[in-house]
A and B are shown apart, each in its own frame.
Chain A
Amino acid sequence: MTVVGRSWNRLTVPGKLIFAGLPILLVMTVGLIVAVILLGGPVLDVLSDNVPILRFVVAITAILLITIPTAFLIIYMEMKIIALMNLRIGPDRVGPGGSLLSVVHGLKVLMKEDFTPTGADPIVFTWAPVVTYLAAVMTLLVIPFAPGFFGQDLNIGLLYFFAIGGLSVVGLLMAGWSSYNKYSLLGGLRAAAQVISYEIPLTLSVVGVILLAGTLSLNQIVLNQGGWFSNWYVFQQPLGFLIFFIAATAEANRTPFDLTEADSEIVAGFATEYSGMRFGFFFFAEYVNVFIISALTVTLFMGGWNAPFPWPWDITLALDPGQLGVMLLILVAVVPLILTVAFAAPLWMISARIKGWQALLGGFVLANLFVVAVIGAVAYVGLDWVAGLLWFLGKTYAFVFLFVWMRGTLPRVRIDQLMDFAWKWLLPVSLLNLFVTAAAIVIVDSVKS
């Protein structure tokens, strides 16, 4: 072992990071600055000529990047909420309140052995999780997260959504067949039967919304639901909403329709032979699916990124920080102190047990929270996308909570009961919904004219 090797071994992990990381960082920074100086000009010219493409690329990247953290968050939510419903604690140790556990799970699946079972078709086996995952993620392209925040405003957005979303069944079938395992086969066939059966009520229940909105574009549908919450389509299409919700639960293979992965019956269904990151793809695809169906429910029926009340004022921020000049520096120095003292004084006066320094500390914390709140309010009021994003995420995660709640409470249905329900109940009811909606529209239009 050389001197360098031994010295390297004596370093702690942070030491190693600094020793190895800093030079690399320096080189990268210098290289980046050089590249920007040399190539900056021409690159900017090219980019500004192709803004739509650039915007699209950024949107796709953002979507792909948010799916994994979203999946992590939903996995953690599920573990924690079901645990609390079961009167136990759930993840507790990893990170505050166990919140980093799903990140650890993600790392774990990356580190597991990657194998293909004997007799399995290697190409189909490898691509099955990819197909499932892509089918899930590609649907996020058309969902409007906030005003102006969508991948692409396709004027056939909803059709695109169902078309691409339906590809997930191909992935399930590929997984079930190629695993060369009877359990997987059963699971895959069950999954295929289930997803296909519930596609029809799913799409039919949404046609009512399409008729009301007059367009397949999801962005336009959300815009139509602006103003008061009574404009939301859930009040005009309650039956449609109900059918959609049930059919979407079945599409996403969630309880009570999770018999494709019923682990008390057929082990893990179609994913029995998958391990490591291959299984990770299925796992994440399922939770991204939960997010997607929640997002779609919110978009179609619950007003998307609209707040429940209309925007009563038209505020534009008329501030220009540059005008202040030196006053800005003075303000930045003085305002925190003033706020700290302002919040500390009442704390100090409330109780004699709070000493001066404790009051100042509490004041500091409260001042920070106040500043964050002010910035948040300003952003909310001034930037419409902040408000939209907050409302959209809030509503979506409310629906995710609903799905998790159902998982913790309900048992699963049997395959024949499930098929029965889809073909004999949901399909006729969704057709009924469609006819009634169409008739109502015709009548209302003729009355108006």
Chain B
Amino acid sequence: MDRQFKERLETRFGERLTGLIRQRHDETEMRIGAGDVVPVLTALHDEPEFRFQFLSDLAGVDTGEVMQVVYHLWSETSADWLRVTADGLSRDDPRVPSVTSLWKGAEWMEREAYDMFGITFEGNRDLRRIYMPPDYQSFPLRKDFFLPDDAARSPGGGVRPMERTHDPRNAPTTALVRRTTA
């Protein structure tokens, strides 16, 4: 747990943070809004006191209330992993600017977040589905993903009896499986 690191982040990005910086074990977490993603990450990438040039992971999260995009970064300036959470994306049309200008390797990770959650990354040149077939309708990792509904609408759907018991027109459209505030 790197206390000094927390202070440095608060000094630098204080106004952009949407919540407290939390630290646990060897991770430091900061939350920002969707619009601040590119300036904050560019600053973390370029500035010599941070130099977070290694993007370790880019994940989408559906908390049940909102959607989030979580970036994990590493630098030799700090002993902690830095977790930047772009919070507050709406569940109807989640949009976040893309970081492919900083890391070209984030392209496929953003494609995966789009495929699984429906989060649109503005500026990603190749935002199409990566795992599911190109004409797939639903977003699987969302908390309101209802499997028989999806199966009935999919190209091979409606064949098995389980899929036939759930008529897609009767499927609850806002059934959320779980939600969390973590």
Do A and B touch directly, given a CB cutoff of 8 Å in the complex?
no
Q: Which B residues form the contact surface with A (CB < 8 A)? A: none
